[in-house]
Amino acid sequence: MTAMLEVRDLEVAYGKIVAVKKISFSVEQGQVVSLIGTNGAGKTTTLRTISGLLRPTSGEILFQGERIEQVAAHDIVSRGLAHSPEGRRIFPRLSVEENLLLGAHCGRSGPWNLKRVYELFPRLYELRKLPSTYLSGGQQQMAAVGRALMSNPRLLLCDELSLGLAPVVIRDIYACLGAITAEGTTVILVEQDINRALDASARFYCFQEGRLALSAPTQNFDRTAITAAYFGL
């Protein structure tokens, strides 16, 4: 069976600085997969390249069997791949609902619409008419994920879901992953929180200085080995 996403010998550079160094991995339909590693390990760069925001210097990215590494970002969204970015990137001059509706502009049909997003994140419904500047960090994260879901993706990339958020908010956001995957959406998480990532995922890939240091199913895996790979010990 063809993997939903295949990354083959991917290399990405910022000028002369190589941030991602010949990495390869795959993601199967219906999985939650985590990319873990310290800040600057290459995780966000990898997501940005998969979603078309960056161009690789070499390598291939196949989504549903088709190469996309040279496809424009908006065309990648229309094919069913959405990105909830690091820092949320909510538009401050728009209302909460207007931010969500931006995600539906690609016109893909599927289970996700405003009603379903509000069911997933009830607090957004209460705040829907307010400017997005009224949102807390956790509410902005919900809006960013909701906006990505509005495009009805088959694959959802979530970058740093827990960054800067209170533990109770992190718990609530991660609790929604089950509802997202139940609708048939595959999820890739980028996380610095090892335990949070492993608890949520079926498989992990550990990045260390732009390379893949370790990968395996998360169930019953030795977390001491994961910690060593994470910190390059």
Kindly list the domain boundaries of the chain, sorted by start residue.
5-231
| Residue given tokens 């500047």 in the structure block | 133
Q: Both tokens of residue 4?
A: 């939903």
The beta-strand segments (E) located in 153-194 are 155-159, 186-191
Instruction: Tally Cβ neighbours within 10 Å of residue 39.
Output: 9
- The rounded percent of the chain whose pLDDT value lies above 90 is 70
pLDDT tens track for 172-204: 889 999 999 999 999 999 987 888 888 999 999
Q: How far apart are the first and last CA of the chain?
A: 36
Query: For residue range 58-85, what is the model confidence (pLDDT) as tens digits?
Result: 999 999 999 999 999 999 999 999 999 8
What separation in angstroms does the CA of 86 have from each of 102, 121, 148, 223?
A: 18, 19, 13, 26
List the structure tokens of 55: 């161009």
In terms of pTM, does the model score above 0.75? yes
- Reduce the DSSP state of residue 15 to 3 states and report it: coil
CATH numeric code, 5-231 = 3.40.50.300
Q: Which amino acid is at 15?
A: G
How many CA atoms, within 13 angstroms, populate the side-chain half-sphere of residue 224? Answer: 0
